[in-house]
Amino acid sequence: MIHSLTLSDVLADHARSRPQVTAVVDGDVRLTYPELDARVTRLADALAGRGVAAGDRVMWLGQNSYAVLELLLACSRLGAVLCPANWRQSRDELRFVLSDLAPRVVVWEPSDQAAELADEATWVRAGGAYEELVAGGSPREFPQVDDAEPVLALYTAAFAGRPCAALLSSAALVAHSATLLVVRQMEPGFTFLNDGPLFHVGTMMFCLATLQIGGTNVFTPAFDAEEVCRLVDAERVTQAFLFGPMIDAVAAANAGGKYDLSSLRFVAHSAEWDDMITVDDSPWCRSKMGGYGQTEVGGMLTFLGLAEGGAGFAGRPSPLVQVRILDPEGVEVPAGEVGEICARGKTLFSGYFARPDLNEVKSRYGWHHTGDLGRREPDGTITFIGPRLRMIKSGAENVYPAEVERALKTHPAVADAAVIGVPDPSWHQAVKAVVVLRPDAAASAEDLVAHVRGELAAYKRPREVVFADAIPKQGFTPDYDALDAAYGGGNYPGA
């Protein structure tokens, strides 16, 4: 256990190494690291008093709050798991999550959806009741916890119609924080404004990296452009959770220069924005932000900042993982070919809570299967193609609809496209494309097939193209079941 470093351990060290540093700001709440450490100890003791033991789950059901970080750290101290649940969920979705995760304690901000699900015995109201809970705990020592144990549960991708809780260990979260420290070049003094939802890994990962480097986490319930401006100015914030339209909104809210946003070291965006902030030159900010990621890898798997000028628009793997592009039999595909993005390494999750069969499938051949398709470019960088929702088997060949759809969409006349497999007497399945043309644009089926042949191997070209007014969707992706029903799809491998 001499190698173990839990989130609780990180906090315990900061309490000693950074006694004067502000760890947390949230409205009137301001806590130094020793104060946060002392509160987390009391909270852990109080949770233990409510029956929370190692391996048990605790749920936060509310908007962003310092309490999310305290609960996470207290769970780490106990070897328990915190789930910050999506407070925007419907009552039905929430009922599922509660029965799935079976939390021992729920700390909640009252809401219409949650009200009738609340159980007086195990639910604690955020605010006063939560503060009473903390105050009721006693300072004491806790046994050491193995950092390979899960500490955070985040609900993610729906498999079989319902979301699953991805379990992340302290070891994975600490490792992921280290990669952000590297790529974002975070230093002591880093101040992060948690204005995106903490039930999502995109905000949580920067909250935890800020903890790791001993910086300051500022919390605000949810994104509000004016409030972001006020907090950046007041707390000298280094970075907030912002992208595209959020940046525009913040720039607009500060149009008169009412607030001083110069402490913000962030990506260039518009002339107006760049004048307000300090354009940062770390790899994370220097070119385009981001890369490819998902909750199951702790956040980011690849970074654009590690592949400046690279061909692949997902960048290169983080320094603490390996990535392989594998075919369905677990064999690496050559550069230039599409396969599933698979990974191993320090930042990976510990499987989904209570999904042994799914976990076995997702980790087959000793690699985490992201469920997404990608390709190595000749320079070794990675391109993300799209989700591996379906695979078509035509002859002996595997054809991923997402790859063919991508090729179709590069044709100037194509507004949208979806690809299915239809039964074929000779080839088992044949590729069929459903295409929506742009208004006033024209292209024949032959034009589109020829276009795909110019982009992909011949066997991937559609044998048939039909035109439609729209593609049925599930969220952002085609609704393949509806497409199969409408256009004669079937004979899928394994079906």
Determine if 309 is a binding residue for its own copies (CB under 8 A): no
Neighbours of 428 (CB within 10 A): 16
Nearest to 285 by CA among 178, 185, 175, 200: 185
Please state the closest distance from residue 180 (CB atom) to its own copies, in A.
10
Determine if 324 is a binding residue for its own copies (CB under 8 A): yes
Determine if 490 is a binding residue for its own copies (CB under 8 A): no
Determine if 369 is a binding residue for its own copies (CB under 8 A): no
Please state the closest distance from residue 52 (CB atom) to its own copies, in A.
24
Please give the Cα distance from 1 to 49 (Å, whole number): 26
Site for its own copies in 136-155 (CB under 8 A): 144, 148
CB 307 within 8 A of CB 381: yes
132, 337, 379, 447: which one binds its own copies (CB under 8 A): 379
Determine if 214 is a binding residue for its own copies (CB under 8 A): yes
Q: By CB under 8 A, which span of 55-63, 96-104, 366-374, 395-403 interacts with its own copies? A: 366-374
Longest dimension (CA), the chain: 75
Site for its own copies in 11-50 (CB under 8 A): 12-13, 16-20
378, 412, 425, 475: which one binds its own copies (CB under 8 A): 378
Nearer to its own copies, 317 or 478 (CB): 317
CB 4 within 8 A of CB 147: yes
38, 54, 117, 181: which one binds its own copies (CB under 8 A): 181
51, 55, 380, 490: which one binds its own copies (CB under 8 A): 380
Nearest to 154 by CA among 10, 1, 297: 297
Determine if 288 is a binding residue for its own copies (CB under 8 A): no
Please state the closest distance from residue 385 (CB atom) to its own copies, in A.
17
Please state the closest distance from residue 387 (CB atom) to its own copies, in A.
21
DSSP state of 305: G
Nearer to its own copies, 291 or 489 (CB): 291
Nearer to its own copies, 373 or 418 (CB): 373
Please state the closest distance from residue 243 (CB atom) to its own copies, in A.
23
Strand 150-159 and strand 162-169: the pairing is antiparallel
Determine if 285 is a binding residue for its own copies (CB under 8 A): no
DSSP state of 438: P
b/e for 61-90, b at 16 or more Cβ within 10 A? bbbbbbbbbbbbbbbbbbbbbbbbbbbebe
202, 221, 319, 371: which one binds its own copies (CB under 8 A): 319
Nearer to its own copies, 9 or 235 (CB): 9
Strand 57-61 and strand 105-108: the pairing is parallel
Determine if 330 is a binding residue for its own copies (CB under 8 A): no
Determine if 311 is a binding residue for its own copies (CB under 8 A): no
Q: By CB under 8 A, which span of 1-9, 199-207, 257-265, 401-409 interacts with its own copies? A: 1-9
48, 171, 277, 433: which one binds its own copies (CB under 8 A): 171
Please state the closest distance from residue 341 (CB atom) to its own copies, in A.
12
Q: Enumerate residues 6+ apart whose C-beta is below 8 A from 202.
A: 196, 241, 299
134, 178, 228, 232: which one binds its own copies (CB under 8 A): 178
Determine if 196 is a binding residue for its own copies (CB under 8 A): no
For the chain, helix, strand, coil in percent to 5 are: 35, 25, 40
Q: Which helix (H) or strand (E) holds 285?
A: helix 283-286
Determine if 238 is a binding residue for its own copies (CB under 8 A): no
Please state the closest distance from residue 410 (CB atom) to its own copies, in A.
25
Nearer to its own copies, 148 or 441 (CB): 148
CA angle, 238 as apex, 282 and 272 as ends, to 5°? Answer: 80
CB 489 within 8 A of CB 420: yes
Please give the Cα distance from 245 to 269 (Å, whole number): 10
Determine if 158 is a binding residue for its own copies (CB under 8 A): no
Please give the Cα distance from 302 to 313 (Å, whole number): 10
Please give the Cα distance from 283 to 301 (Å, whole number): 15
Determine if 208 is a binding residue for its own copies (CB under 8 A): no
Q: By CB under 8 A, which span of 221-229, 360-368, 388-396, 486-494 interacts with its own copies? A: 360-368
22, 212, 294, 295: which one binds its own copies (CB under 8 A): 212
Residue 61: beta bridge partners?
85, 108
Please give the Cα distance from 482 to 160 (Å, whole number): 16
CB 435 within 8 A of CB 466: yes
Q: DSSP letters of 320-362?
A: TEEEEEE-TTSPBPPTTSEEEEEEEETT----BTT-HHHHHHH
Positions touching its own copies (CB under 8 A) are 1-5, 9-10, 12-13, 16-20, 144, 148, 171-172, 174-175, 177-179, 181-182, 185-188, 212-214, 283, 306-308, 316-317, 319-324, 335, 344-346, 348, 363, 366-368, 376, 378-382
